[in-house]
Structure formats: structure tokens, C-alpha cells
Structure 1
Amino acid sequence: MGKVALEGIEFHAYHGAFPEESILGNRFTLDLEIETDFSSAMTEDKLSETIDYAKLYSLIKSRMDVKVKLLEHLGYLIIQDILEAYPQSQKATLTLKKHHPALGGLVKHSAVTVRFPEDFQNHD
């Protein structure tokens, strides 16, 4: 078992519960870690035996382009997309941050962390 990760992925996107967030958008960063068995990739040197970073990024970008209200929902959908593309994933942890959220004061970011399988126990 090993870990594949993408850290500090940045997007400008239009997620939020307030109307102005879907118009102005905001900066988001995402950290993702997936536990999977990539022992064949280590010995065979084949991309098909592991998780393709480029495909992973593309999955995330596609989901970031679709407006939603809640970071929790967005994190859930991203992990669902990853599990569909890479069913061999044993665990996934995604942290999604919205920078400078409109909360009426200075806040560096708001964040949620979604974990598979823990947060998916009652939703599949």
C-alpha cells in the first residue's frame, strides 16, 4: 500500500451559499491524498498500474467548474469521481480551502476535510 498525493492545487471557482460568490468567485486550494496498491507500478514502471496525476487533476478541475453551495458537497463529489475512475483506491483524504471567505472580517480561509471511507459510511 502506498500514497499518491496532489498538494496545493489552485482554482478560481464560483462555489458558495451567497449569491455574490457565484458571480465574483474566489480562490480555492485543494490537497488530496489517496492510499492505493501501486506495487506493480513500482516494479513494472507502467502508468496504468497506478493513479495518473494528470487524469486526477482533470477530474478535479472538471468538478471545480460546476457551481455548488457547500464545500462539504464539493469534496464529496470530487471523491466520488475519483473512486469511479480509480476503484482500487483504499482511502482518500481531501482538504478543500476557500480563501478569504465573505464572513464580515479577515479570515485567511475556511476549510473542510472529507475522508473516504469514514465520511461515506452512510451515504453509499
Structure 2
Amino acid sequence: MGKTIHDPDRSFTSGRISLKGMKFHAFHGCFDFERECGGDYEVDFSAMQDSSYVQKGPVNLLAASCTDDLQDTLDYSRVYAIVARVMASPSNLIEKVAGDIMSAVLDEFPYLGEVEVTVRKMRPPIDGMDSGYAEYVLVSVL
């Protein structure tokens, strides 16, 4: 399972890895025109582990900071593929999109620790709102 950290010069207490600003054109929303034309979305993902997670699963963010071994860390190309797959499947609500991303990532990578998914719907269909976004943040602590 996870590796312990063997670096007497360092005392790390937590590690976080993030993917920020993933951009997608997707077809989420409750209105017909949103499903037909789609809209722009942005997704952020992060996983944080403290020392209590190092022996629970194969991902060990603290060990990776010392070992320089891809096998210890979270393969963020796989996380991106999961996010892209979920974004390609229409939902009514960004809350549901965030929940589906969270569930799919945790199915593939259990014991990540604290996981946060943020979904932003750029220029939501609100009268008078020409820019900006609606945002939903979902946090899970295993």
C-alpha cells in the first residue's frame, strides 16, 4: 500500500495536488437552449492528504514529495479524463455535475483524503448578467 516517508530533514504534515481551470463546452442546464447550444464551464479539482492517509491506499502525496515516484502520487491525467467524461454527460444542475465528478474520482482513487470539486457555469442565463459565473463547491473528507 502506501509508503512511509524516509527524510529525516523534513517533517511534512500534508500535501495537496490540484487541477485548476479545466475548461469545457458542455450541455448542462434546465433550459432547452442550454441543452441545444451548450455553455462554457470551468472545473477545479484538488485532493489533500495528511499523514493519517499514508497507509490507506496507493496514493501517498506526502511520500511523492520525497520519492519523486509517479506511483506514489495522483495521476492527474486520469483525473482529467474522469472530469471530461462527466462533463460530456448532461445534467440539469452544476451541483449534480460536481457530485458525479466527486463520485467517479473517489471510485477510482479511494482514500484520497480531503477532495474538493468546484464547477463554474460561465455566463449563466440570468437577465442582465453579461459576465461572471455561478459556482458550486463540493468537499468530501474520507
Do these two structures clear the TM 0.5 threshold for a shared fold by scoring above it?
yes
Aligned partner letter, 2:43: L
Distance in 2 (CA, whole Å) between partners of 1:27 and 1:66 is 14
1:86 Cα shift?
A: 1.2
Give the TM-score normalised by structure 2: 0.78
What does residue 101 of structure 2 align with? Answer: 78
SS at match of 1:29: strand
Which of 22, 31, 49 is the matching residue for 1:9? 22
Distance in 1 (CA, whole Å) between partners of 2:84 and 2:19 is 13
Q: How does 1:25-64 map to 2 (within 5 A)?
A: 25-36=38-49, 37-64=60-87
Superimposed CA distance per residue, residues 40-67 of structure 1 (whole angstroms, 9 cap, x where no aligned partner):
2223222121101111111100110000
The runs of 5 or more residues in structure 1 that have no matched partner are 119-124
How many residue pairs end up in the alignment?
118
SS at match of 2:127: coil
Aligned partner letter, 2:137: T
Q: Would you identify which runs of 4 or more consecutive aligned residues in structure 1 move more than 3 Å?
A: none
Distance in 2 (CA, whole Å) between partners of 1:73 and 1:82 is 14
Superimposed CA distance per residue, residues 75-115 of structure 1 (whole angstroms, 9 cap, x where no aligned partner):
01101111111112111111111111111221511111111
Aligned partner letter, 1:15: H
Distance in 2 (CA, whole Å) between partners of 1:12 and 1:93 is 21
Distance in 2 (CA, whole Å) between partners of 1:40 and 1:116 is 22
Q: CA RMSD in A?
A: 1.5
Distance in 1 (CA, whole Å) between partners of 2:48 and 2:30 is 32
Whose radius of gyration is greater, 1 or 2? 2
The runs of 5 or more residues in structure 2 that have no matched partner are 1-13, 50-59
SS at match of 1:8: strand
Aligned partner letter, 1:114: L
